[in-house]
Amino acid sequence: MSLVPKSDKWLFWGCFIALITTAFGFLLRIFLMDGWAKEFNFTETQKGELFGVGLWPFAISIVIFSLIIDKIGYKVAMFFGFACHIVSLIMTVTAGSYETLYWANFVVALGNGTVEAYINPVVATQFQKEKSRWLNILHAGWPGGMVVAGVLALSLPADMAWQSKMWLLAIPAVIYVVILAFQDFPVNERVAAGSSYMDMLKEVGAAGTFIIVWLMAVEFVRSTTNSESPMIVGTIIAAVAAVAMFAVTRSFGRPLFVLLLLVMVPLATTELGVDSWVSDLMTPILGANGLYVLLYTSLLMMILRFCSGPIINKLSPLGVLATCSILAALGLIALSHATTGALIFAAATLYAVGKTFFWPTMLGVVAEQCPKGGALTLNATGGVGMLGVGVIGAMLLGFMQDTTLDGNIKKSAPQVHEQVMSEKVGLLGAYKAIDEEKLKAVTDEDRKVVTEARAGVKQATLQKVAIFPIGMFLVYLGMLLYFRSRGGYKPVDASASAH
């Protein structure tokens, strides 16, 4: 006898394939980025901005749909996400400029956020007794999707137009919409338990609202207006939203939930920020084979997430997160010092094991500790993660490379520096970056100076990122001690917490 009724199996696997679709878009963007950069003359920071806009709008749709999904139904959200995937695909293959690619990535991120707005609460409701385990299994679809997309992309002819390669995204998108269109979605756990809509808002409260709105507002203002102070404008907008939320709920937000929101920023940067850049950062040693590092770590993540149950039962969700933080930090430091292909893959193994359980286990902790928050707290956590890496993380990695390279070339070869650098302005301030057009005009000897400087900067960036998982470890350790003082980590029962 099957443990899961047939309809529930199809529902779960439809959600799984929907997540695979989001991974296809992410991997293809990485796979095609160098081609885009050459065709449209991107700087490293602009590449970071493109990576970022493929992530941060995720939060807009995931938060908005989380507020209304119990009213409109999961299936409406599913069809909206599918529409975003197809529209963004068409925009991308017809793009003729940086701006068009930017907005195509914006739309696909909206679709990705909508996907997670329904798949996370659906699975958390389906498997209420083992949320962390099944959310890990669900999120095996992310690395699994990157592996499948990578293999397919690499199997295509090298001289095939990048526009043709982008059509790979349509394969999983069509599959999931066909499966999910015929499924019955469950009533959310919060609704079934009798917890009110106001209870859900109180879990987020003013503090949670400020964090979410600030990240969204800063990036939205920066990318759509000519404002020179997006952080100031974003802070004002977030403050107004937080005051309004407090006026409605009289709640600052549940402290544990607010802490978990803040931790999602370095967590997402450690995982997705590095994933966005890792193939590029490994280019000095592996050349065009840098993408294989991402595919290898993704394959390990997929396998380990399917085996998450015993590990979580043994260590507890917080124990898993603390252990993984140390492993990820050691892996990043090792990657930054690896000098051969063999050492890179050995270090990548350590990093992969470390980052494997971050995202889904954090969602599991929120689902288990904040059940009254329903879809909103669960999805806002993922939304802030995407916002954090999209607004700050991916761009920070690019900014680190540009500014370090600027300083190194200026110090070692000031004449070359004058010839190849151009002034740029980004969210993190003014900076100087290499202008690819100017670089083409210099001598081969000067170009070699730039190439050698770039090689050292790219890999060294990973060591700087290790500070994020180290900080995460300290937070998780503090949370472990807190729960131990209260008798140990235990999931909160939704029915009991609603009364």
Express each pLDDT in 293-327 by its tens digit: 778 888 999 999 999 889 999 999 999 999 999 99
pLDDT grade for 279, boundaries at 50, 70 and 90: low
Query: Would you give the distance in Å from CA 482 to the centre of its chain?
Result: 28
Q: What is the largest CA-CA distance in the chain?
A: 75
Q: Looking at the domain assignment, is residue 416 inside a domain?
A: no
DSSP designation for 223: H
With contact defined as beta carbons under 8 Å apart, do 404 and 61 qualify? no
pLDDT grade for 426, boundaries at 50, 70 and 90: low
pLDDT grade for 38, boundaries at 50, 70 and 90: confident
Q: Looking at the domain assignment, is residue 452 inside a domain?
A: no
Q: Looking at the domain assignment, is residue 351 inside a domain?
A: yes
Mean pLDDT lowest among 43-57, 106-120, 235-249: 43-57
Q: At what angle do helices 98-126 and 44-53 cross, to 10 degrees?
A: 40
Q: Looking at the domain assignment, is residue 421 inside a domain?
A: no
Q: Give the helix/strand (H/E) hosting 408.
A: helix 394-412
Q: Looking at the domain assignment, is residue 442 inside a domain?
A: no
pLDDT at 9 over 80: yes
**Exposed e or buried b per residue across 259-282, where buried means at least 16 C-beta atoms within 10 angstroms of its C-beta:** ebbebbbbbbbbbbbbbbbbbbbb
Question: Which pLDDT belongs to residue 495?
Answer: 65
Mean of the per-residue pLDDT values of the chain: 85
HEC sequence for 311-371: HHHHHCHHHHHHHHHHHHHHHHHHHHHCCCHHHHHHHHHHHHHHHHCHHHHHHHHHHHHCH
Q: Please, is 310 exposed, middle or buried when counting C-beta atoms within 10 Å of its C-beta (0-12, 13-18, 19+)? A: exposed
Q: Which residue did the predictor score with more confidence, 277 or 266?
A: 266
Task: Pick the closest to residue 357 from 410, 301, 407 (CA basis).
Answer: 301
Q: Which residue did the predictor score with more confidence, 38 or 467?
A: 467
Question: Which pLDDT belongs to residue 288?
Answer: 60
Question: Which pLDDT belongs to residue 167?
Answer: 93
Question: What span, in angstroms and rounded, lies between the C-alpha atoms of 200 and 184?
Answer: 24
Q: Which residue did the predictor score with more confidence, 354 or 493?
A: 354
Task: Tell me the pLDDT tens digit for each residue of 146-172.
Answer: 899 988 988 888 788 888 889 999 999
Task: Pick the closest to residue 332 from 224, 440, 472 (CA basis).
Answer: 472
Q: Looking at the domain assignment, is residue 435 inside a domain?
A: no
Question: Which pLDDT belongs to residue 84?
Answer: 96
Question: What span, in angstroms and rounded, lies between the C-alpha atoms of 420 and 446?
Answer: 9
- 491 Cβ contact list (under 8 Å, min separation 6): 131, 368, 369
pLDDT at 263 over 70: yes
Q: Looking at the domain assignment, is residue 499 inside a domain?
A: no
Question: What span, in angstroms and rounded, lies between the C-alpha atoms of 328 and 323?
Answer: 9
Number of domains in the chain: 1
For 42: left if phi > 0, alpha if psi spans -120 to 50, otherwise beta; the answer is beta
With contact defined as beta carbons under 8 Å apart, do 48 and 397 qualify? yes
CATH number, domain containing residue 255: 1.20.1250.20
Helix locations, 41-130, DSSP H: 44-53, 58-72, 74-93, 98-126
> Which one-letter amino acid corresponds to residue 462?
L
Q: Looking at the domain assignment, is residue 434 inside a domain?
A: no
Domain that holds residue 208: 6-405+458-494
Question: Which pLDDT belongs to residue 434?
Answer: 81
Tokens found for residue 207: 């503090």
With contact defined as beta carbons under 8 Å apart, do 189 and 374 qualify? yes
Question: Which pLDDT belongs to residue 23?
Answer: 92
Q: At what angle do helices 291-306 and 6-40 cross, to 10 degrees?
A: 170
Tokens found for residue 455: 């090689």
Question: Which pLDDT belongs to residue 498?
Answer: 52
Helix locations, 95-196, DSSP H: 98-126, 131-138, 141-155, 162-166, 170-180, 189-193
Percent of the chain with pLDDT over 70: 91
Task: Please state the pTM of the whole predicted model.
Answer: 0.81
Instruction: Give the other-Cβ count within 10 Å of 43's Cβ.
Output: 21
Query: Would you give the distance in Å from CA 185 to the centre of its chain?
Result: 26
Question: What span, in angstroms and rounded, lies between the C-alpha atoms of 358 and 308?
Answer: 12
Percent of the chain with pLDDT over 90: 41
Q: Give the CA angle between residues 400, 239, 197 to the nearest 5°.
A: 110
Question: Which pLDDT belongs to residue 457?
Answer: 75
